Amino acid sequence: MSQLPEGNLQDLAQYKLAQAKDDLETANILLNAGKYKAANNRAYYCCFHSIGAILALEPIAFKRHKDTLSYFNKNYVRTEYFPKDMGRKISRLEIIRHKSDYDTFYIASKEETIQQIRTAQELTALTEDFLSKKGSP
């Protein structure tokens, strides 16, 4: 039986970034299909996996999304590794995702969904840049 090679923290970060990119692609497909609630969900998970890629380098992980987002805001947004407004954008995305997934009477608009996907694109690009500066190609 052959052993699988073990990865390092950079490999884990790249894996999580790939998940984020896949979620972003899916969000755009859903947007184009008029499935705004589902697109909001994927945009949120794109951001969540991008943040996971960043935190993988520490390495640190949390059981609850709330804790992950809080840690990211405290250690990466407030310290200005990421733009100050990114914390607000992610918070908004989390609210919209929650409404999209759980509020029966919430109607997701195309315009709002486009904005959520833009946030996901922005964070993914910033994450890619951050990882490349940290030595993860």
Options 3.55.40.20, 1.20.120.330, 1.10.390.10, 3.40.1030.10; CATH for 9-132 is 1.20.120.330
Residue spans per domain, the chain: 9-132
pLDDT digits (tens, 9 = 90+) for 6-28: 779 999 999 999 999 999 999 99
How many helices (H) and strands (E) would you count in the chain?
Answer: 5, 0
Amino acid at 131: L
pLDDT digits (tens, 9 = 90+) for 19-64: 999 999 999 999 999 999 999 999 999 999 999 999 999 989 999 9
CA atoms within 13 A on the CB side of 10: 8
